[in-house]
Chains A and B, each alone.
Chain A
């Protein structure tokens, strides 16, 4: 669980910060015509930093799946939706409606429940080991 979180927390932040960088750069070029959008966007390092962060996030996500349950990783990573909203509000000064803040709250509560379910599993495993040792 500790190892999973040590990988997934940076993954969540890399993803959210990466999206902030992408959004920042795309808003800068925003006014140009569609076929001009990408060639102009890649001129700035901001877009590259954002893209690299997203790739790093994916690598961390995939690595965690080499040992952790998918049914744990998927809801845990959903925290990135909440972090995205918070960072968009803080760095991009986007106005967040009450409905969206409620969504952030729901996601956070859901992630806390999923964390708790993992903790019980660890306890169960330890008890299994203890029972095994007694035999």
Chain B
């Protein structure tokens, strides 16, 4: 039970991080500069963006929850569960970011999910 709660937390925090990071980067705007000075200015805009920082915060939560659950659960149990992040992030992209996810893209994400699950098996 404890393991299930933490794995759910890992999946949700990781995909929340993805969604917030995207929100933040979309607010910063499309990066098309390659000049170092311009890039520095963009960098400053990125690290002061609240959504970006919250996203990083969620990634930190993911990382620590991952470490905590590994203190009693097997890696071979926890890691395959992380393949669910692909589905959760795509749902977030569709319902929170309003992206158009076509049937073909869903099929691709599902295959990726199965693939990541398989690579985590011994």
Contact = CB atoms under 8 A, between A and B. Distances in A.
Partners in one complex: yes
Interface of A: 62-63, 65-67, 69-72, 74-75, 78, 81-82, 85, 97, 99-100, 102-114, 116-117, 120-121
A99 B116 CA distance: 11
Contact of A71 (B21, B52, B101, B120): B101
Interface of B: 18-19, 21-22, 25-26, 28-31, 46, 52, 86, 89-90, 92-94, 97, 99-102, 104-105, 107-122
Contact of B119 (A65, A85, A114): A85
A114 B86 CA distance: 13
Contacts of A70: 18-19, 22, 89-90, 92-93, 97, 99
28 contacts: A62-B21, A62-B46, A63-B25, A65-B21, A65-B26, A66-B26, A70-B18, A70-B22, A70-B89, A71-B109, A78-B112, A81-B115, A81-B116, A97-B122, A99-B122, A102-B115, A103-B115, A103-B119, A104-B119, A106-B115, A106-B118, A109-B115, A111-B108, A111-B112, A112-B108, A113-B105, A113-B107, A113-B111
Nearest to A3: B32
Nearest to A106: B115
Nearest to B97: A70
A75 B22 contact: no
A106 B90 CA distance: 18
Contact of B118 (A65, A72, A102, A121): A102
Nearest to A100: B119
| Most B-side CB within 10 Å, residue of A62, A70, A99, A104 | A70
Given A62-B25, A70-B19, A100 B93 contact: no
B66 to A, nearest CB: 16
Contacts of B110: 110
Given A69-B99, A70-B22, A113-B104, A99 B121 contact: yes
